């Protein structure tokens, strides 16, 4: 996923009165401003994940965004995108939709999973899932005998001398055919906010700074 923003018409209005060297240096100042704004957007998006997701975002999700293909004076375009690995799940947080499993099913933790080692987002860790599956005394995978309950990972509890493995069971996680998601993470909206924020927005503030530096270097004050 990428943020695609067009500033051409806004830039023309902004620079319509530029003359001489300033007019010639518009492409250079634009390229520099685009790249600095893009880097700022990457940082902003990473910070936004902490505010969006319950319990804050894990480091892997905070690092989900990257700035690619820096703009150049002769190619005034640049890209901020979601990295490929994180995009596998972030696309559903950004646009919503139906997530289908890579394998047979999606494993979703339920309220009984509080007794296990969950992430701060309320998900089962991969290491935890493997540990549960390997602990055949306390947990089992599949459906309870009699066909009651859905397929998933079940915990045996209520241990005693008579029932060393537990006399009751409760489901820790269940297998889902798919997952339904609503848009939660404001990826595109954040891009627009950073670029066209209050007043002239992030890009145009950067453009002014870069043009000032260019003209100062050429001896203009």
Express each pLDDT in 165-187 by its tens digit: 667 788 878 777 777 789 999 99
Q: Which residue has the higher pLDDT, 158 or 206?
A: 206
Q: How far apart (Å, rounded) are the C-alpha atoms in residues 168 and 145?
A: 12
Residue 34 has pLDDT above 90, yes or no: yes
Residue 131 scores a pLDDT above 60: yes
> pLDDT band at 36, cuts 50/70/90?
very high
Q: How confident is the model at residue 52 (pLDDT cuts 50, 70, 90)?
A: very high
Looking at the predicted structure, is the pLDDT value of residue 108 above 90? no
Instruction: Please report the pLDDT score of residue 111 as a whole number.
Output: 63
Across residues 33-55, what is the average pLDDT?
92
Average pLDDT, rounded, for the chain: 82
Average pLDDT over residues 50-54: 88
The 10 Å Cβ neighbour count of residue 19 is 7
d(CA 175, CA 101): 10
Tokens of 213: 């530096």
For 43-73, give the DSSP string: HHHHHHHHHHSTT---HHHHT-EEEES--BT
Can you tell me the mean pLDDT for 28-54?
93
Q: Is the per-residue pLDDT at 201 higher than 70?
A: no
In the chain, pLDDT over 70 holds for what percent of residues? 83
Cα(40)–Cα(203) distance, integer angstroms: 10
**117 pLDDT higher than 80:** no
3-state secondary structure of 27: helix
- Model confidence at 103, pLDDT cuts 50, 70, 90, reads low
Strands laid side by side in the 152-157 sheet: 106-109, 168-176, 152-157, 139-142
pLDDT value at residue 147: 67
Q: How many residues does the chain have?
A: 221
Q: Which pLDDT does position 45 carry in this prediction? A: 95
**pLDDT value for 33:** 94
Structure tokens at 57: 């975002």
What is this structure's pTM?
0.72
Q: For the chain, what are the domain ranges?
A: 2-98+181-217, 109-177
**To the nearest whole percent, how much of the chain has pLDDT over 90?**
36
């Amino acid at each position: 996923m990428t943020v695609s923003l067009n500033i051409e018409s806004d830039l023309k209005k902004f620079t319509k009165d530029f003359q001489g060297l300033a007019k010639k240096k518009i492409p250079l100042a634009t390229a520099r401003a685009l790249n600095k704004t893009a880097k700022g957007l990457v940082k902003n998006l990473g910070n936004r994940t902490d505010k969006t997701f319950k319990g804050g975002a894990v480091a892997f999700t905070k690092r989900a965004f990257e700035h690619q293909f820096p703009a150049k004076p002769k190619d005034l375009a640049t890209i901020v995108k979601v990295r490929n690995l994180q995009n596998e799940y972030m696309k559903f947080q950004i646009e919503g939709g139906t997530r289908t499993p890579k394998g047979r099913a999606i494993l979703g933790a339920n309220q009984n999973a509080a007794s296990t080692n969950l992430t701060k987002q309320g998900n089962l860790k991969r290491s935890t899932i493997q540990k549960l599956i390997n602990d055949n005394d306390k947990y089992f995978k599949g459906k309870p005998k009699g066909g009651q309950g859905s397929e998933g990972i079940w915990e045996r509890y209520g241990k005693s001398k008579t029932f060393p493995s537990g006399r009751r069971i409760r489901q820790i996680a269940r297998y889902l055919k798919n997952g339904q998601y609503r848009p939660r993470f404001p990826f595109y909206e954040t891009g627009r906010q950073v670029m066209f924020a209050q007043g002239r927005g992030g890009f145009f503030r950067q453009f002014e700074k870069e043009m000032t530096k260019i003209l100062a270097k050429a001896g203009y004050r």
